[in-house]
Amino acid sequence: MSRISPVMAALKGAGRKALIPYLMAGFPEPSHTLGLMHALVQGGADIIELGVPFSDPMADGPVIQKAGEAALRHGVGMGEVLAMVREFRATDKTTPIVLMGYANPVESYNLQHGVNSFVQDAAAAGVDGVLIVDYPPEECVDFAASLRAHHMDLIFLLAPTSTDQRMRQVR
Amino acid sequence: MLQDANGQITETHSVSAGLDYPGVGPEHAFLKDIGRAEYVGVTDQEALDAFHYLCRTEGIIPALESSHAVAHAMKLAKTMTPQQSILVNLSGRGDKDIGTVADLSNADFFCRPSCQGQTVKGEQAISLAALNGSKA
């Protein structure tokens, strides 16, 4: 179980909704991200969603696209994002972190650092959940199992048009 | 994919829109890996030259994508005997590319952006310089 489930259960018990703000890692400057993450927690964030910059962000709107471009200009990649999470985790052991991003930086990380290295390094850094928008559930059964084995959640997007069958499939 | 060490997709350029893409499909990748097909490169200029050559000699307008194949076939033909044959797959028709070819060949072509002083693909730097000059 990740840190996410207890947080959600506690919120449900208190009758509260979760506040999950999003930050693009490395925007506006890589050195700002750590401070912004702690500030979000102080401001009441229950969970932090951290964007991994990608050159082809086909599921993001213009605001996050621009933030991602700025982060890329600073050379922020998956390795840098995991380092930021590791640094955050050094002082905050409780706030869940979800990485939101795309398949290619994950695949590329595994190519560079070895099979399944992303899952291992993300777990070691203190990541709790991963949302990879271009991994459809049918295509990432092994990835999902590996995340579960490392106490991380794989999160999927649902739309108002998603069918009951699809909702069950991504639970 | 054309990508850097972080898996970021890099920019591409090709005179033909259909080749201006940073990825190669799994079938082509597989055919290359098992050695069943050989893949070669052709420059924009070689493709344009082949486009004009096939139009003039055969009256066939090849797509700019297919013009790359024609360009390589012309190179290959020089290494072969008259008894040998080459089969070229013209995968697309070039009437869709007439405007692009007109712009890149400096043709006076009816109602193209290039004839109205506007920016056209492949000539952006030149057009911008001209625009800045006219402002000054």
Q: Which of B2, B3, B4, B8 to mutate to test the interface with A (most CBs of A within 10 A)?
A: B8
Q: What is the mean pLDDT of residues A109-134?
A: 96
Structure confidence at residue A95 (pLDDT): 97
Flag whether pLDDT at B33 surpasses 50: yes
Q: A25 and A75 in contact (C-beta within 8 Å)?
A: no
Q: Do B7 and A56 touch (CB under 8 A)?
A: no
Q: Is residue A46 among the annotated active site residues?
A: no
* CA–CA min distance A38, chain B (Å): 26
The CA-atom distances, in angstroms, between B18 and each of A19, A34, A95, B23 are: 44, 43, 47, 11
The residues with which A23 forms a beta bridge, in sequence order, are A50
Q: Report the pLDDT value the prediction gives residue B111, as an integer from 0 to 100.
A: 58
Average pLDDT over residues B13-38: 93
* Sign of the Cα pseudo-torsion (A68, A70, A73, A76, in order): negative
**Mean pLDDT over each residue of chain A, to the nearest integer:** 95
Query: For residue A171, what pLDDT is reported?
Result: 75
- Sort strands A153-154 and A129-132 into parallel, antiparallel or unpaired: parallel
pTM of the model: 0.77
Provide mean pLDDT across the span B108-116.
Answer: 59
Query: How much is the average pLDDT of A86-114?
Result: 96
Residues of B in contact with A71 (CB under 8 A): none
Average pLDDT, chain B: 84
Distant-in-sequence, close-in-space partners of B66: CB < 8 Å, separation ≥ 6: B88, B89, B90, B91, B92, B94
| Residue in A closest to B8 by C-alpha | A55
Structure token digits, residue B92: 């697309």
Mean pLDDT value of segment A77-106: 97
- Residue A124 tokens, joined: 């070691």
DSSP category for residue B62: B
pLDDT at A31: 97
What ipTM score was computed for the predicted complex, to two decimals?
0.79
The alpha carbon of residue A113 is apart from the nearest alpha carbon of chain B, in Å, by 11
Q: Per-residue pLDDT averaged across A5-10, rounded? A: 95
Residue A152 is predicted with a pLDDT of 96
Q: Which of A60, A121, A128, A153 is an active site residue? A: A60
For range B64-70, the mean pLDDT: 97
Structure tokens belonging to residue B83: 């008894």
- Evaluate if residue B117 carries a pLDDT over 60: no
Average pLDDT, integer, range A142-158? 95
CA geometry: angle A95, A101, A105, nearest 5 deg: 120
